Amino acid sequence: MKTIIYTCPYVPAEWIAAHGLRPSRVMPAAVGSTGPLARVEGLCPFVHSFINEVLTILPQTDTCGVIVTTVCDQMRRAFDILVRRCDLPAFLMNVPHTWQSTAAQKMYVDELKRLSRFLIRLGGKPFSNDTLARVMLEYDDARASILAARSYLSARQYAQLIAAFGRDGPGMMLHSETGASLPIAGVPLAIVGGPMVRGDLDIFDIVEQSGGQIVLDAAETGERGLCPPFDRRRIRVNPLVELANAYFNGIPDASRRPNSELYNWLKREFLDRAVRGIIFRRYVWCDTWHAELGRLKDWIDLPVLDIDVGGDSQAHQHRVPNRIRSFLEMLL
Amino acid sequence: MPGQITLQEWDQRYEQLRKAGLHQPDYSGPLSRHVEDGDTRLLKLRYDNSAAALRLWNFLLTEEDRLHKARAEGKKLVGTMKDLGTIPVMAYSLDNLVAFYPDGAWWIPCVMELNTGLLKIADKLGIDESFCPVRAMLGAFLTGAHFPIPDLLTCSVGATCDDFSAIAQRLNGLGYPILWWEIPHRHPPEPDEAAVKLPGGFSAPKSQVEFVESQLQHIKTAFEDLSGQRLDEKKLSTGIKKANKVRTYLAELRQLAFTAPQCPMPALEMLIAEMLAIHFCSDRNETIVVLKGLLEEVKARVRAGIGFLSPDAARIFWVNPVADLQVMNLFEDCGGRICGTEYLFTHALDAIPQDLPPTEALAQMALADPMVGSSIDRASRICNDVRIFGAEALLISRIPGASHCALEGQIIGEIVRDKLNIPVVELEVPPLTDSIRPALRTRLEALVETVRARRKK
Residues of A in contact with B185 (CB under 8 A): 70, 76, 92, 94
Q: Do A76 and B185 touch (CB under 8 A)?
A: yes
Integer CA distances (angstroms), A294 to A14, A180, B128, B171, B308, in order? 36, 39, 10, 11, 49
Q: B355: Cβ–Cβ under 8 A, 6 or more apart, which residues?
A: none
User: A125 with A164, same domain?
Assistant: no
Residues ≥6 apart with Cβ < 8 Å to A244? A12, A105, A108, A109, A112
User: Do you find a cis peptide bond into B423, omega within 30 degrees of 0?
Assistant: no
Q: Which of residues 88-127 of B touch A (CB under 8 A)?
A: 125-127
* Residue A190 φ/ψ, nearest 5 degrees: -115, 145
Q: Contacts from A245-250 at CB under 8 Å and sequence distance 24+?
A: A245/A105, A247/A9, A247/A10, A247/A12, A247/A108, A248/A10, A248/A95, A248/A96, A248/A99, A248/A104, A248/A105, A248/A108, A249/A99, A249/A105
- Return the closest-CA partner of residue B106 out of B89, B127, B126, B85: B127
Kindly state the average pLDDT of the residues B245-270: 98
Asked if residue A103 lies in contact with residue A248, where contact means CB atoms within 8 angstroms, the answer is: no
pLDDT score at A318: 80
DSSP-derived secondary structure for B137-187: HHHHHHH--SSPPPSEEEEEEESS-HHHHHHHHHHHHTT---EEEEEPPP-
- Contact assignment for B376 to A84 by CB distance below 8 Å: yes
At residue A183, the pLDDT reads 73
A170-179, A211-220, B399-408: which range is least confident on average? A170-179
Q: Taking CB atoms and an 8 Å limit, are B374 and A80 in contact across chains?
A: yes
pLDDT class of A178 with cuts at 50, 70, 90? low
User: What mean pLDDT do residues A205-234 have?
Assistant: 97
Query: CA-to-CA distance for A320 and A282, rounded, in angstroms?
Result: 12
pLDDT in tens, B287-301: 999 999 999 999 999
- B408 contacts on A by Cβ (under 8 Å): 77, 80
Same domain, A180 and A229: yes
- pLDDT at residue number A59: 63
Query: How far does CA B285 lie from the centroid of its chain?
Result: 18
Cα–Cα distance measured from residue B183 to residue A98, given in angstroms and rounded to the nearest whole number: 10
Whether A154 and A99 share a structural domain: no
**Total CB pairs under 8 A between chain A and B:** 147
d(C-alpha A73, C-alpha B162), whole Å? 6
From chain B, the residues in CB contact with A293 under 8 A are 126
Same domain membership, residue A118 and residue A217: no
Question: The domain at B63-234 falls in which architecture?
Answer: 3-Layer(aba) Sandwich (3.40)
pLDDT in tens, A9-65: 999 999 999 999 999 999 999 887 778 888 888 999 999 999 999 998 766 679 999
Q: Which one, of B110, B59, B105, lies nearest residue B81 by Cα?
A: B105
C-beta separation of A76 from B159 below 8 A: yes
Q: Verify whether the Cβ–Cβ distance A77 to B404 is below 8 Å.
A: yes
Residue A173 forms part of a structural domain: yes
Q: What is the mean pLDDT of residues B75-86?
A: 95
Of the candidates B125, B184, B190, the beta carbon closest to that of A94 is on B184
Q: Do domains B63-234 and B311-342+374-457 have the same CATH topology?
A: yes
Task: Report the percentage of chain A scoring pLDDT > 70.
Answer: 95
Q: What is the CA radius of gyration of chain B?
A: 21
| pLDDT of A182 over the 80 cut | no
With a CB-CB cutoff of 8 Å, which residues 172-191 of chain B face chain A? 172-173, 178, 180-182, 184-185, 187, 190
Chain A residues in contact with B406 (beta carbon < 8 A): 40-44, 74, 77, 285
- A-chain CB neighbours of B363 within 8 Å are none
Burial A63-86 (b: 16+ CB within 10 A, else e): bbbbbbbbbbbbbbbbbbbbbeeb
Q: Quote the percentage of chain A above a pLDDT of 90.
A: 85
Question: Given an 8 Å threshold on Cβ–Cβ distance, is A294 in contact with B170?
Answer: yes
Closest residue, chain A, to B138 (C-alpha): A291
Distance of CA A66 to the CA centre of its chain: 16
Cβ under 8 Å to A: B residues 5-24:
none
- Mean pLDDT value of segment A317-330: 92
Q: What is the predicted pLDDT for the residue at B273?
A: 98
CA–CA min distance B399, chain A (Å): 10
Percent of chain B, pLDDT > 90? 95
**Chain B residue with minimum CA distance to A39:** B406
Mean local confidence (pLDDT), B92-102: 97
- Using a CB-CB cut-off of 8 Å, the residues of chain B touching A74 are 162, 403, 406-407
Residue A140 lies in a domain: no
Name the β-bridge partners of B152.
Answer: B78
Whether residues A85 and A48 fall in one domain? yes
pLDDT digits over B159-180, tens only? 999 999 999 999 999 999 999 9
Q: Which one of A74, A94, A99 would you mutate to disrupt binding with B, by most B Cβ within 10 Å of its Cβ?
A: A94
pLDDT at A165: 97
Residue A197 sits in the same domain as residue A326: yes
Residue A175 has pLDDT above 60, yes or no: no
Distance from CA of A284 to the nearest CA of B (A): 8
Q: Final residue of a domain: which of A72, A97, A129?
A: A129
pLDDT for residue A313: 64
Select from A257, A296, A309 the residue whose CB has the most chain B CBs within 10 Å, as the one to mutate to test that interface. Answer: A257
What is the mean pLDDT of the segment spanning A115-119? 98
Q: Return contacts of A75-78, CB within 8 angstroms, 24+ apart.
A: A75/A7, A75/A8, A75/A47, A75/A50, A76/B159, A76/B185, A77/B374, A77/B375, A77/B403, A77/B404, A77/B406, A77/B407, A77/B408, A77/B411, A78/A47, A78/A50, A78/A51, A78/B407
Nearest to A70 among B130, B158, B190 (CB): B158
Contacts of A286 in chain B (CB under 8 A): 162
Minimal CA separation from B7 to chain A, in Å: 36
Confidence at residue B39, expressed as pLDDT on a 0 to 100 scale: 93
- Cα–Cα separations (whole angstroms), residue B203 to A115, B186, B188: 19, 8, 6
A69, A35: one domain: yes
Please give the residue of chain A at the shortest CA–CA distance from B217: A103
Element of type H or E holding B315:
strand B314-319
Q: For this complex, say whether ipTM is above 0.85.
A: yes
Phi-psi region of A94 (alpha: psi -120 to 50; beta: other; left: phi over 0): beta
Query: Are A81 and A219 in the same domain?
Result: no
| SS3 call for B305 | coil
User: How many Å apart are CA B66 and CA B443, to the nearest integer?
Assistant: 40
A118 and A170 both lie in a single domain: no
Is residue A269 very low, low, confident or very high in pLDDT (cuts 50, 70, 90)? very high
Those of residues 344-383 in B touching chain A at CB distance below 8 A are: 374-376
CB of B323 closer than 8 Å to CB of B106: yes
- Mutation target to probe the A interface, by most A beta carbons within 10 A, among B132, B169, B174 is B169
Instruction: Please tell me if residue B167 touches chain A, with a CB cutoff of 8 Å.
Output: yes
Other Cβ atoms closer than 10 A to B74: 7
Task: Give contacts of B 209-238 with A, CB under 8 A.
Answer: 211, 214-215, 218
| B158 touching chain A per CB within 8 A | yes
In a domain, A248, yes or no: yes
Record the pTM.
0.96
Contact B389, B418 (CB under 8 A): no
Whether residues B163 and A287 touch (CB distance < 8 A) is answered with: yes
Q: What is the pLDDT of residue B456?
A: 84
Q: Collect all residues of chain B within an 8 Å Cβ-Cβ radius of residue A114.
A: 190
CA dihedral A134, A139, A141, A144 (to 10 degrees): -150
Buried b / exposed e over B170-196, threshold 16 CB at 10 Å, is bbbbeebebbbbbbbbbbebeeebeeb
Running DSSP on this structure, what letter comes out for residue B103?
A: G
Domain boundary among A77, A99, A129: A129
Say how many domains are in chain A: 2
B350-379 average pLDDT score: 97
Residues in chain A within 8 Å Cβ distance of B159: 70, 73, 76, 94
Residue A202 is assigned to a structural domain of this protein: yes
Give the domain B311-342+374-457 fold: Rossmann fold (3.40.50)
Q: Which domain holds residue A124?
A: 3-129
Q: Which residues in chain A have their CB less than 8 angstroms from residue B214's CB?
A: 103
Ordered DSSP codes for B42-88: GGG--EE-SHHHHHHHHHHHTHHHHHHHHHHTTPEEEEEET-SSSHH
pLDDT band (50, 70, 90) for residue A291: very high
Residues A15 and A62 both lie in one domain:
yes
Contacts of A76 in chain B (CB under 8 A): 159, 185
Q: Do A166 and A53 reside in the same domain of the chain?
A: no
In which band, very low, low, confident or very high, does the pLDDT at B46 lie, cut at 50, 70 and 90? very high
Q: Which CATH number do you get for residue A214? A: 3.40.50.11900
- The H or E element containing residue B382 is helix B375-389
Q: Is the pLDDT of residue A1 over 60?
A: yes
Cα torsion angle, B156, B276, B208, A6, sign: negative
Confidence (pLDDT) at B63: 96
Within a domain: A136: no
- Which CATH number is A12's domain given? 3.40.50.11890
Tens digits of residue pLDDT in B102-146? 999 999 999 998 888 999 999 999 999 999 999 999 999 999 999
Same domain, A94 and A172: no
The residue among A80, A95, A105 with the most chain B CBs within 10 A of its CB, best to mutate, is: A80
Mean pLDDT of chain A: 93
Is B403 close to A81, i.e. CB distance below 8 A? no
By Cβ distance, the residue of A97, A285, A294 closest to B406 is A285
Domain extent listing, chain B: 63-234, 311-342+374-457
